């Protein structure tokens, strides 16, 4: 069952204007937040069990608690560089409810004592950026941003910063580099952004959905928020479902919801064939097979146990006409294209993986290359500054062992086991 | 101080030391490319992996600080495997063109592969094609395919030269070092990027294709390019000196300027490239050094015995002798000649020939100083020690019956040299000590005799730099056998004749292996 907490009013077109948003109780929570102490807001978010919705799933309240008390200015950055393939939930949130994000950001900024924040938005999201800019102007005009917001004495400025289409700028330190005007490359940690982030000042980076989720937590309290979800994965989450389903789209369901139910109920079942596999959390997450999908629940713990992850919550469903070698090629091409090139294992490894998979399709591969593919992926894991190297390696370590027969068949016979000699349908 | 254990060796290091520095202090080998002690930490090559007790994940040693009681190793199987694969990732797109690469013999990839790698390569697919022979600037050439993107050169232009010419363009395995449009790598320290490049990606236009490094020996010395006195290593073989590189010291850190790299050109008996003729694409082989005493008669060179020329001078027989000194000789030499001048000529008529003294206080904030003499301080100290006065203005020389000119070794920094030559030739008899031929020497009258002087690599002694620091240097090798230092000149003036054998300027090029061959 869909539980619409964040997306409750998304069907209302007027919701993206300030008036429409206010008509549905918008900015009431901000008023409540100003009546609270900042540390109580942080405590409430901590108590809610809210975990980062961008992919890593790190507890938000704990992250906020890392800020040092050194009197330096603090920055709040909203990560709206939604680059994980097949993820499109933040886009909808920003297009449908820009004021929801703005309100969530002001509350969060108040909680952590930040007077300046940026929304770093993916360059391709031109429309969403326009909607946000318009909403920010409305908010400034209504005294919801700027000096002395709602008479609370709290000042806050908010700007939209558009990226230029690099996946790596969705990594928080890569995003900070980009925002600083440098090449968007992740930074060495330590120091962590909470200590030295944007302009070497304490910085908190949160995903769009995370910041929006602060509103119901403060409005209804942590206990009410926890009514949905599981003990360790509290609340609801948006899932972007794509691929071979009848009704692809964004669905808000409580964490812990059964994956097969989401496919069959909300998404109207598998299209064009039998369910074969799914990628549960963006292409960086290892694939799971149809049998595993039956058992999977949509929460951080269950998917981690299965050796994959919830990630950004984008689910790609594949039916039995999909060739996994093709799929692997598309995925490895993406990471080859997007590696920033800073760390050697990732820079060289992503290209190597892509070439190895391509060689399977072009008939140049040997059977031993299947093991080499896994070996290269294994050696790229956990050896770099950021997680892109892991993101490139994990799909290989998921797809290749689980569908090894398809790779062996392709190498031996020279054509796909699944689609025969016909050309693949998947292009990038 | 912090106690830690590196590969089982207990050492104490200063608080804040990185693990990689602790490895160096403990004398332990550790693979690395991007880390350089003179630059910030990039942490991108991912080779300096270490295992820290209690931490399941490998850490990079360059970005980890030593903590009290930390037990670190790079000898575990996990680390060795990570380093082996790290090297493999570096090499899969490397062209492996060592036979034609100038870096071969001093290449980080070769050395570290022999040390930490030695595996069978598994990359059987086509390599990434990148730009080759990229002209980055006046002195540096780039081969992007050899580049391992350690970013040392980029960080150098950011942090040391602060000129920011270099950047990494594109991303992933298409990344390449490059310069911005209209902003070539022409800063005054550009060749340092060649020194710190661990592979053959950046090569020096001056040195490339000239010598294989295993035919060269190196000895430490001091740069004569200006009063800073950067410590250098001189790379030479029996045919001459081929390059100088900075040697780490308190004076110059890890760097030296590009101008300083030209000083070796005053040393070689035959050079293929004269300073100032860089535009001339044809390499010209010219005898550069003065090989024996000579004078010119109607433009024709007439050789005279160096020994006879010098020892025939009886200083006491001249009624009005003069001495012209430059700041390019060693303290020991000044001591000897000035002492002699005081006793035999009463210490009169000493002139300090200065090149653009109005710029002597200039300093670019890093290493380059306006005083282009290595030992002005030493000269002044020696004059003071002997109680002598030197005039800084050269008067008309007509009234002098003998002038001894201690000419500059690096002539190109003396822009008034031909003017001084004209002035000096007005005297009745002139002996001009010089390492290299003067440009207008052939127009000089017959009573001007040129005597070959030793260069800084051919003698031992000391220079006093701008801050009064006395830095001694040892002889590297002799390239012109008849050349004299000032102690010898003094001895010969005093009648202590020392025979000098003839020089052999036109030695045939014959290379020899200096180092033993490594494992093949």
> Hey, is the C-beta of A192 within 8 angstroms of any chain B C-beta?
no
Question: What is the spatial distance between Cα B491 and Cα B344, in angstroms, rounded to a whole number?
Answer: 13
Residue with tokens 């200083």: B315
CA separation for the pair A310, B455 (Å, rounded): 72
Q: Rounded to an integer, what distance in angstroms lies between the CA atom of residue B151 and that of residue B45?
A: 9
Q: Over range B485-497, report the average pLDDT.
A: 86
Residue B438 in tokens: 């003067």
Burial, B50: exposed, middle or buried (Cβ in 10 Å; 0-12, 13-18, 19+)? buried
Cβ within 8 Å, pair B89-A385: no
Report pLDDT for B497.
Answer: 58
Nearest Cα residue to B207 out of B166, B244, B250: B244
**pLDDT tens profile B207-243:** 988 889 999 999 999 999 999 999 999 999 988 899 9
Mutation for testing the B interface, residue in A171, A188, A336, A347 having most B CBs under 10 Å = A347
CB neighbour class for B498 (10 Å; exposed up to 12, middle 13-18, buried from 19): exposed
* Backbone φ and ψ of A217, nearest 5°: -65, -45
Residue B276 has pLDDT above 90, yes or no: no
CB contact under 8 A, A183 and B41: no
Q: Do residues B248 and B274 lie in contact, with contact meaning Cβ atoms separated by under 8 Å?
A: no
A333 touches chain B (CB under 8 A): no
Residue A336's Cβ-side half-sphere holds a number of Cα atoms within 13 Å equal to 21
What pLDDT score does B510 carry?
45
How sure is the predictor about B284, in pLDDT bands with cuts at 50, 70 and 90? low
Confidence at B273, pLDDT banded by 50, 70, 90: low
From residue B340, how far is each of A80, B87, B323, B379 by CA, in Å?
Answer: 82, 62, 11, 15
Q: Looking at residue A382, what is its pLDDT?
A: 92
* Cα distances (angstroms) measured from residue B27 to each of A185, B30, B53, B80: 34, 9, 20, 18
Nearest alpha carbon to residue A52 among A206, A203, A192:
A206
Number of H helices, E strands in chain A: 18, 11
Instruction: Tell me whether residues B170 and A341 touch, CB distance under 8 A.
Output: yes
Query: What is the nearest CA distance from B129 to chain A, expressed in angstroms?
Result: 13
The separation between the first and the last C-alpha atoms of chain A, rounded to the nearest angstrom, is 34
Note the pLDDT of residue B265: 85
**For B4-62, how does the pLDDT look when each residue is reduced to its tens digit (9 = 90+)?**
999 999 999 999 999 999 999 999 999 999 999 999 999 999 999 999 999 999 999 99
Q: Which range (A250-264, B118-132, B272-286) has the least confidence?
A: B272-286
Q: Which residues pair with residue A121 across a beta bridge? A: A80, A162
Q: What is the mean pLDDT of residues B498-518?
A: 44
**Locus of tokens 């004059």:** B383
What number does CATH give the domain B286-493? Answer: 3.40.50.740
CB-count exposure of residue B37 (10 Å: 0-12, 13-18, 19+): exposed
- Our CA angle for B513, B516, B518, nearest 5°, is 120
Could you write out the DSSP letters of every residue in B163-183? ---EEEES-GGG-EEEE-TT-
CATH number (1.20.1440.230, 3.30.420.40, 3.30.465.10, 1.10.3720.10) of A324-413 reads 1.20.1440.230
Give DSSP secondary structure letters for A163-207: --S-GGGGSHHHHHHHHTTS---PPPSSSPTTTS-GGGS-EEEEE
Place of tokens 């093709």: A326
**Per-domain boundaries in chain B:** 2-91, 286-493
Instruction: Return the domain boundaries, chain A.
Output: 13-225, 236-319, 324-413
DSSP string, B25-59: HTT-----SS--TTS-----S---EEEETT-SS-E
> Are A359 and B175 a contacting pair at CB < 8 A?
no
Nearest to A180 by CA among A209, A211, A157, A201: A201
Smallest Cβ distance to A384: which of B46, B122, B128?
B46
- How far, in whole angstroms, is CA A254 from its chain's centroid? 17
Q: Are strands A257-258 and A157-162 parallel, antiparallel or unpaired?
A: unpaired
Strands A157-162 and A116-121: parallel
What confidence tens digit (pLDDT) does each residue in B437-465 have?
Answer: 998 888 999 999 999 999 999 999 999 99
> Å from A264 to nearest chain B CA?
40
Give, in words, the CATH class of A236-319: alpha beta
Q: CA A311 → CA A3, A201, A286, B220, distances in Å?
A: 20, 28, 10, 58
- Tell me how far the alpha carbon of residue A333 is from its chain's centroid: 20
Dist. CA A287–CA A275, nearest whole Å: 13
- Distance of alpha carbon A350 from its chain centroid, rounded? 21
pLDDT of residue B282: 52
CA atoms within 13 A on the CB side of B370: 11
Q: How confident is the model at residue B286 (pLDDT cuts 50, 70, 90)?
A: low
- Check pLDDT > 50 for residue B507: no
Name which of A267, A207, A214 is nearest A5 in CA terms.
A214
* A324 shares contact with chain B (CB less than 8 Å): no
| Cα B218 to Cα B412: distance, rounded to the nearest angstrom | 25
User: What residues 24-53 of chain B have any CB closer than 8 A to a CB of chain A?
Assistant: 41-47, 49
**B406 and B329 in contact (C-beta within 8 Å)?**
yes
Any chain B CB within 8 A of the CB of A383? Answer: yes
Q: Shortest CB distance from B45 goes to which of A336, A344, A364?
A: A344
Q: Are A239 and A315 in contact (CB under 8 A)?
A: yes
Q: Which uninterrupted H or E stretch holds B237?
A: strand B231-237
Q: What angle do CA A381, A385, A387 make, to 5 degrees?
A: 50
Q: Confidence band (pLDDT; 50, 70, 90) for B493?
A: confident
pLDDT averaged over every residue in chain B: 90
Residue range B2-91, CATH number: 3.10.20.740
Q: Give the A:B interface size as CB pairs under 8 Å.
A: 89
Looking at residue B481, what is its pLDDT?
A: 87
How far does A346 lie from chain B, in Å, by closest CA? 8
Kindly state the percentage of chain B with pLDDT values over 70: 92
Residue with tokens 């992919």: A55
Q: In A286-366, where do the E strands start and end?
A: 288-289, 297-298, 314-319
B78 interfacial to chain A (CB closer than 8 Å): no
The pLDDT of residue B135 is above 50? yes
How large is the average pLDDT for residues B74-90? Answer: 94
DSSP assignment of B455-502: -GGGS-EEEE-TTS-EEEE-----S-TT-B-HHHHHHHHTT-----PP
Per-residue model confidence (pLDDT) at position B122:
80
Quote the minimal CA–CA distance from A414 to chain B in Å: 18
Q: Average pLDDT by consecutive 10-residue portion of chain A (428 residues)? A: 94 96 96 96 97 93 95 96 93 97 98 97 96 97 96 96 94 96 94 96 97 97 96 95 96 97 96 96 94 96 95 94 95 97 96 97 94 96 95 97 97 94 61
- Tell me if A87 sits within 8 A of A207, measured CB to CB: no
**Whether B76 contacts B52, CB under 8 Å:** no
Number of C-beta neighbours around residue A19 at 10 A: 12
Alpha-carbon distance of A275 to B472, in angstroms, equals 81
* φ, ψ at B366 (rounded to 5°): -120, -75
Other Cβ atoms closer than 10 A to A273: 12
Which pLDDT belongs to residue A64?
Answer: 97
Ramachandran angles phi, psi of B315, nearest 5° = -60, -35
Nearest chain A Cα distance for residue B15, angstroms: 17
Burial of A44 (0-12, 13-18, 19+ CB in 10 A): buried
Spatial neighbors of A334 by CB under 8 A, at least 6 apart, are A85, A167, A283, A428
- Does the beta carbon of A390 lie under 8 angstroms from any beta carbon of chain B? no
Contact B70, B52 (CB under 8 A): yes
Over the Cα atoms of chain A, what is R_g? 22
CA–CA dist B187, B256 (Å, integer): 12
Domain A13-225 class?
Answer: alpha beta
What DSSP state is assigned to residue A321?
Answer: T
Predicted model pTM:
0.92
Per-residue pLDDT, averaged over B460-489, amounts to 93
């Amino acid at each position: 069952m869909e539980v619409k907490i964040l997306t409750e009013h998304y069907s209302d077109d007027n919701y993206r204007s300030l008036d429409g948003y206010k008509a549905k109780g918008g900015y009431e929570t901000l008023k409540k937040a100003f009546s609270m102490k900042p540390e109580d807001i942080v405590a409430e978010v901590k108590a809610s069990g809210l975990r980062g919705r961008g992919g890593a799933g790190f507890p938000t309240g704990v992250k906020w608690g890392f800020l040092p008390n050194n009197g330096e200015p603090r920055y709040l950055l909203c990560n709206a560089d939604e680059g994980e393939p097949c993820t499109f939930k933040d886009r909808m949130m920003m297009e449908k409810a820009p004021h929801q994000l703005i309100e969530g950001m002001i509350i969060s900024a108040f909680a952590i004592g930040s007077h300046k924040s940026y929304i770093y938005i993916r360059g391709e999201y031109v429309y969403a950026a326009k909607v946000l800019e318009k909403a920010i102007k409305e908010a400034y005009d209504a005294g919801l941003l700027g000096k002395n917001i709602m008479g609370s004495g709290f000042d806050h400025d908010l700007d939209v910063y558009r990226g230029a289409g690099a996946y790596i700028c969705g990594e928080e330190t890569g995003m900070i580099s980009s925002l600083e005007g440098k090449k968007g490359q992740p930074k060495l940690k330590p120091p962590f952004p909470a200590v030295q982030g944007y302009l070497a000042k304490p910085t908190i980076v949160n995903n769009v959905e995370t910041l929006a989720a602060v509103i119901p937590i403060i409005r209804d309290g942590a206990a009410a928020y926890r009514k949905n979800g599981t003990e360790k994965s509290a609340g609801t989450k948006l899932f972007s479902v794509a691929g071979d389903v009848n009704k692809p789209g964004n669905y808000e369901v409580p964490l812990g919801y059964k994956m097969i139910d989401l496919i069959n109920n909300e998404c109207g079942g598998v299209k064009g064939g039998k369910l074969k596999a799914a990628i549960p959390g963006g292409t960086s997450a290892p694939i799971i097979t149809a049998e595993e999908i039956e058992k999977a629940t949509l929460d951080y713990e269950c998917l981690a146990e299965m050796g994959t992850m919830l990630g950004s919550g984008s689910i790609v469903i594949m039916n039995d006409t999909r060739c996994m070698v093709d799929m692997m090629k598309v995925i490895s091409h993406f990471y080859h294209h997007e590696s920033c090139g800073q760390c050697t294992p990732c820079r060289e490894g992503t290209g190597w993986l892509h070439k190895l998979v391509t060689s399977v399709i072009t008939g140049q591969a040997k059977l031993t290359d299947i093991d080499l593919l896994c070996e290269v992926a294994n050696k790229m894991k956990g050896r770099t500054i950021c997680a892109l190297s892991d993101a490139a390696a994990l799909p290989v370590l998921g797809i290749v062992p689980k569908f090894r027969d398809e790779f062996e068949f392709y190498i031996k016979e020279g054509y796909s086991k699944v689609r025969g000699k016909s050309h693949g349908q998947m292009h990038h | 101080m912090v106690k830690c254990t590196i590969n089982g060796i207990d050492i104490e290091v200063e608080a804040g030391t990185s693990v990689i520095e602790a490895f160096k202090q403990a004398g332990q080998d550790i693979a690395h490319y991007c880390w350089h002690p003179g630059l910030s930490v990039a942490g991108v090559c991912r080779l300096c992996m270490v295992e820290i007790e209690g931490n399941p994940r490998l850490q990079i040693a360059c970005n980890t600080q030593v903590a009290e009681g930390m037990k670190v190793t790079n000898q575990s199987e996990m680390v060795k495997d990570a380093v082996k694969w790290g090297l493999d990732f570096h090499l899969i797109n490397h062209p492996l063109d060592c036979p034609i690469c100038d870096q071969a013999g001093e290449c980080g990839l070769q050395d570290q592969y022999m040390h930490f790698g030695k595996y069978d390569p598994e990359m059987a697919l086509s390599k990434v094609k990148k730009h080759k022979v990229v002209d980055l600037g006046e002195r540096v050439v780039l081969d992007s395919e050899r580049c391992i993107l350690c970013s040392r050169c980029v960080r150098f232009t950011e942090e040391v030269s602060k000129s920011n010419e270099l950047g990494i363009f594109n991303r992933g395995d298409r990344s390449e070092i490059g310069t911005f449009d209209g902003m070539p790598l022409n800063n005054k320290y550009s060749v340092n990027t060649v020194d710190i490049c661990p592979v053959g990606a950046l090569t020096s236009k001056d040195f490339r294709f000239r010598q294989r490094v295993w035919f060269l020996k190196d000895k430490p010395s001091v740069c004569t390019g200006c009063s800073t006195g950067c410590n250098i290593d001189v790379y030479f073989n029996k045919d001459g000196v081929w390059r100088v590189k900075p040697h780490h010291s308190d004076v110059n850190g890890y760097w030296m300027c590009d101008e300083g790299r030209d000083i070796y050109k005053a040393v070689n008996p035959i050079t293929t490239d004269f300073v100032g003729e860089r535009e001339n694409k044809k390499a010209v082989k010219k005898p550069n050094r003065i090989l024996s005493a000579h004078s010119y008669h109607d433009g024709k060179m007439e050789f005279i015995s160096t020994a006879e020329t010098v020892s025939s001078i009886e200083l006491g027989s001249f009624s009005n002798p003069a001495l012209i000194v430059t700041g390019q000789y060693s303290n020991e030499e000044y001591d000897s000649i000035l002492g002699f001048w005081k006793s035999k000529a009463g210490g009169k008529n000493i002139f300090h020939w200065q090149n653009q003294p109005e710029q002597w206080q200039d300093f670019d904030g890093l290493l380059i100083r306006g005083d282009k003499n290595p030992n002005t301080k030493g000269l002044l100290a020696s004059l003071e020690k002997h109680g002598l006065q030197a005039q800084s203005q050269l008067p008309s020389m007509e009234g002098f019956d003998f002038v001894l000119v201690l000419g500059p070794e690096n002539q190109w920094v003396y822009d008034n040299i031909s003017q001084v030559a004209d002035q000096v030739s007005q005297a009745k008899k002139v002996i001009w000590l010089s390492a290299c031929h003067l440009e207008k020497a052939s127009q000089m009258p017959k009573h001007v005799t040129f005597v070959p002087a030793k260069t800084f690599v051919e003698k031992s002694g000391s220079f006093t730099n701008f801050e009064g620091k006395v830095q001694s240097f040892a002889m590297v090798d002799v390239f012109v056998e008849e050349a004299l230092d000032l102690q010898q000149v003094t001895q010969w003036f005093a009648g202590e004749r020392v025979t000098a054998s003839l020089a052999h300027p036109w030695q045939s090029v014959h290379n020899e292996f200096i180092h033993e061959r490594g494992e093949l």
